[in-house]
Amino acid sequence: MGTVNQTCTSSFILLGLSSDWKIQILLFVLFLAMYVLTVVGNILIIILICLDSHLHTPMYFFLTNLSLVDVSYATTIVPQLLVHFLEDEKLIPYLSCTAQLFFSLGLGGIEFVLLATMAYDRYVAVCNPLRYSAIMHDGRCVRLITASWIGGSLNSLIQTSITFQLPMCTNCVIDHISCELLAVVRLACVDTSSNEVAIMASSIILLMTPFFLVLLSYIKIISTILKIQSTEGRKKAFQTCASHLTVVALCYGMAIFTYIQPHSTPNILQEKMISLFYALLTPMLNPMIYSVRNKEVKGAWQKLLGQFYELKLKLTPS
């Protein structure tokens, strides 16, 4: 027992996805490719928005923050996962585990609040277009972004602090791909009902409340769109929301399913798949969704590529 306690204060063991070497190598190649696409795609979106003055609007200011959150979240989880694919003993130091839980939980909370903020932006654009500039001015946008970052970080600080105060005297093996909140809480050898209440409370504040705000915004948006007489007008109004609505549909469902019922019997494989979804798939797909389904972003890409082509022609010797 003494050895176990001593080990737990220095490091944890992550079981990961598989112990089969060939499968781990295959997953390493697959996840590395997805991570590279995630980083490149989100950084390119940020660069594009910074370079194109036509995209200097509240919607793309929020999208810049979303891309920053996505690439940061993926970087919190995936590099450590890739390293563990190449190691026999998947150790993660105690402090690294604490930091991983703090940043992943914080960035996840920030993203949910940020998506609600983007829904409010789309609501104003569709339902109150004449006052859009007056309502979504720079100061308000900055305050909304600041509130999302502070809210997510504060919740993460509280959850991380109370989680790592638990005596983890059973074992140091985390049956997960990362130091995920529910997986770490399950290591405790004491009653964790207070932690479950805290998880439920933070889920209501940072998950369910933003979700209902998004839902309310889109009820208002759809109601307004249906009142538009022309088919072209309805199509144009819907296109302003299509990309964000797709991202919202991807992000909220699994998080609600995972965190809103901490008392339920855990399905470990399901939890791992959901973590992979948020760490790899969602951050990789978001920039693609906004590039493919958004005319302004596609136009900006074409303009930027055209400028690079013209520059290349000028620099190429005759």
- We report the CATH number of the domain holding residue 61 as 1.20.1070.10
201 found inside a domain: yes
User: What single-letter DSSP state applies at residue 205?
Assistant: I
**How does residue 200 score in pLDDT terms, banded at 50, 70 and 90?**
confident
312 found inside a domain: no
Residue of 254, 271, 243 whose CA lies nearest to 122: 243
State mean pLDDT over 187-192.
83
- pLDDT (0 to 100) of residue 170: 59
318 found inside a domain: no
Q: How many domains does the chain have?
A: 1
317 found inside a domain: no
166 found inside a domain: yes
262 found inside a domain: yes
State mean pLDDT over 262-281.
76
11 SS3 class: strand
173 SS3 class: strand
Domain that includes residue 167, residue range: 2-307
What φ, ψ does residue 167 adopt, rounded to 5°? Answer: -75, 115
What residue ranges in 17-138 does DSSP mark as E strands?
Answer: 91-93
**How does residue 81 score in pLDDT terms, banded at 50, 70 and 90?**
very high
To the question of pTM greater than 0.85 for the whole model, the response is yes
- pLDDT (0 to 100) of residue 134: 93
Query: 197, 296 in Cβ contact below 8 A?
Result: no
Question: Comparing 92-96, 213-217, 300-304, which segment has the lowest mean pLDDT?
Answer: 300-304
314 found inside a domain: no
